[in-house]
Amino acid sequence: MEPVLEIRNLNVDYGLGDRAVQAVRDVSLTLHKGEVLGLAGESGSGKSTLAYGMTRLLAPPGAITGGEVIYHPEQGSPYDVLALSDRALRQFRWAETAIVFQGAMNSLNPVHKISTQLTDVLKAHEPKLSEHSRNARAREMLKLVGISTDRMDAFPHQLSGGMRQRVMIGMALILQPQVVIMDEPTTALDVVMQRQILGQLIDLRERLGFSVIFITHDLSLLVEFSNRIAIMYGGRIVEEAPAATLYRDALHPYSKGLLGSFPALRGPRRELSGIPGSPPDLAGMPTGCSFHPRCPKAFEPCSTAIPVLGRPDIPDGAGRSVACWLHPAEQPVG
C-alpha cells in the first residue's frame, strides 16, 4: 500500500529549556492510502499531542523538538510538513489534512452562521470560486453528512451536538483532503449517535477515498472501525498491529490491559480486568519501559532499558510491531 503520511521520529515538548516536559517521544507512524489508523491510549498518553504536534496546531508552550512529517501529495513529490513556511502551511492545512476536534460543542464559532463557516474555507483556499459555487459546495457537503440544507443559515447554538459534529465532518471534507484526523470526535455524544456518525464516516471514506487517523481512548470503537491500531503509552507507541490481530492477540501487556477494560462486543466473553495504577506523570517518567511500574509481567531489563519498537519474535510477526522486552524486536522500525 502507498503511504500518504509518514511521521518519522517525532518529538514534542511542553515548555522550553530545562523545564521542558517530553510529551511525545520518537514516534514513527505511517498512514496508508484509504486506511483508518486507530490511535489509542489513556488520557495523558500523548495521542492528542501527537495529532496537534504533527499539524503544528499545538498551543504554547508546546514545541516540536525533532522529527519529520512527510506528506505524499496526489501529484508531485513528498515534502516535510514541519518545514513549511507559515504561508505554505496555511495552504496545506485543510486542503491536504483536515481535522475533526474533540470538542464538538466548541469547534464552531458561535457568532457565525454554518454557511459562513463552511464557505470561508473555500474563500481562503479557492479564491477563484464564485460565491454561487461556494454556496453550492457547502450545501452539497451538508447533504453528504445528512443535514438538511435549510440549516445553512442556522447558528451553531441552534443545532444539536450530533448535528454540530456532522457539520464539522462535512467541513473537514469540503476541500476533499487526503487525510482526515479525528481527535475523540464522538466522545461528547451518546453511544447511539457515536456509532451512527462513525458508520457514516466509514461510508464516506469508501466513497471519497480519504485516509483517517482516528484518536480515541475507547479501544472498542477502534476495534470496530479501524484497519490498524497503534497503542500509545507515556508518549511512545508501544504496539502497532492490524485491528483484528491486536484484538485477538495483543502482545504488549498494556494493550492487553486496555483490551481487558471493556466488554467484548462480539465473540466469546472475556473477563474484565482493567489496569492497576495510573498513567505516569510526564514530568517524572519512570526509567526503562515507562509502563514497568504497572506491568504485571515486568522483569529484569524493564526498569533499566527502553525497549525498541520492532517486529516481534513470533511466528505471525509480519505487519505488526511492539516495544516490549517480552518480545524483543527482530527489526526495529524507523
Shortest distance (Å) from residue 124 CB to other proteins: 5
Distance CA 142, CA 169 (A): 9
Nearer to other proteins, 60 or 267 (CB): 60
Nearer to other proteins, 58 or 238 (CB): 58
Nearer to other proteins, 56 or 311 (CB): 56
Q: Which of 3, 32, 120, 286 binds other proteins (CB under 8 A)?
A: 120
Subset of residues 59 to 98 that bind other proteins, contact rule: CB under 8 A = 59-66, 68, 74-77, 79-80, 82-86, 88-95, 98
Q: Could you tell me the end-to-end alpha-carbon distance of the chain, in angstroms, rounded to an integer?
A: 17
CA distances from 213 to 103, 165, 203 (A): 17, 17, 15
| Window 176-215: contact mask with other proteins (x via CB under 8 A) | xxx-------------------------------------
Q: Is 219 helix (H, G, I), strand (E, B) or coil?
A: helix
Q: By rule CB under 8 A, what count of residues binds other proteins? A: 66
> What is the DSSP secondary-structure string of 11-44?
EEEESSGGG-EEEEEEEEEEEETT-EEEEE--TT
Subset of residues 28 to 57 that bind other proteins, contact rule: CB under 8 A = 52-53, 55-57
- Helix H segments across the chain? 47-54, 86-92, 114-125, 131-144, 161-173, 191-208, 219-225, 243-248, 253-259
Q: Say whether residue 2 binds other proteins (CB under 8 A).
A: no
Shortest distance (Å) from residue 334 CB to other proteins: 15
Kindly state the DSSP code that residue 310 receives in the 8-state scheme.
Answer: B
Kindly state the DSSP code that residue 281 receives in the 8-state scheme.
Answer: P
| Window 148-167: contact mask with other proteins (x via CB under 8 A) | -------x-xx---------
Shortest distance (Å) from residue 321 CB to other proteins: 24
CA distances from 265 to 27, 36, 223, 269 (A): 30, 20, 10, 9
Q: Say whether residue 263 binds other proteins (CB under 8 A).
A: no
Q: Say whether residue 145 binds other proteins (CB under 8 A).
A: no
288 φ/ψ sector (left φ>0, alpha ψ -120 to 50, else beta): left
Q: Say whether residue 130 binds other proteins (CB under 8 A).
A: no
Which of these segments, 29-37, 101-109, 221-229, 263-271, binds other proteins (CB under 8 A)?
A: 101-109
Cα Rg of the chain (Å, integer): 20
Q: Which of 32, 33, 126, 279 binds other proteins (CB under 8 A)?
A: 126
Q: Say whether residue 135 binds other proteins (CB under 8 A).
A: no
Shortest distance (Å) from residue 13 CB to other proteins: 8
* Number of residues that this document lists for the chain: 334
C-alpha grid cell, residue 168? 464539522
Q: Say whether residue 262 binds other proteins (CB under 8 A).
A: no
Longest dimension (CA), the chain: 67
Distance CA 28, CA 161 (A): 34
C-alpha grid cell, residue 56? 503544528
Write out the residues near other proteins by the rule CB under 8 A.
16, 52-53, 55-66, 68, 74-77, 79-80, 82-86, 88-95, 98-99, 101-103, 106-112, 120-122, 124-126, 128-129, 137, 155, 157-158, 168, 171, 174-178
